[in-house]
Amino acid sequence: MTAAIMLDTAATLGAVVLAAVMAVAAAVKFTSLRTTADEFAALGLGRSRALPALVGVIEVAAAITLILRPPLGAVAAGLLLVAFTGVVAWALATDKRVSCGCFGPLSREPVSSTTVLRNIVLLALAVLAGTRPSLVTPDLAATVAISAGALTAVVVVQAGMTAQRLGRLWSVELAGEMSRESIVRTGRSEK
């Protein structure tokens, strides 16, 4: 398996995955314009229902273009992702605890560093997709290798995020229980 085959396959898979993400995001926006408009308003983007519809149209155009002309679609998707990431970063910087509105009612989680990380990964897919002038029929061995690597990365990241959440959960003092520090202080003061 040559590097060119791996790159062609990775670029094709990246374009298809990113196109699917854009298409799903657009479909959800179209089916929940009011909810998405409320989420956009909470982000400080205004309360117009036209904005989610416009973003949805641009996402559909980017998805189609990623499949038909990957370099052009990659630029469109990349610009959208940079704009989305800028809005999310601004919301984080101003301590807004709101959903990004990216996937409408499918994702109500408040923006976080995970949202930024997700957008960076999608932006990397756009860059990868833009490296080839057209999609190719993916090589099976390359597809398996790339998929296994991507799945491993997702599992590692998810395990890290779960450990972080559990650490926060365990660090919270529960009603009636003493923290480790107060147990140590109490033990010292009794001696």
> If you search the block for the tokens 């990431």, which residue do you land on?
85
Domain boundary among the residues 137, 157, 177 is at: 137
Instruction: Work out the percent of the chain whose per-residue pLDDT is above 90.
Output: 44
* Tens of pLDDT, residues 107-153: 778 888 888 988 999 999 999 999 999 998 888 988 999 899 888 98
Confidence of residue 176 (pLDDT cuts 50, 70, 90): very low
Q: Is the pLDDT of residue 79 over 90?
A: yes
Q: Are residues 17 and 98 in the same domain?
A: yes
Same domain as 156, residue 114: no
Residues 153, 122 within the same domain? no
**CA-CA-CA-CA torsion sign (140, 146, 149, 154):** negative
150 and 110, same structural domain? no
93 lies in the same domain as 121: yes
User: What global pTM score does this model have?
Assistant: 0.77
Domain boundaries, position 167? 139-191
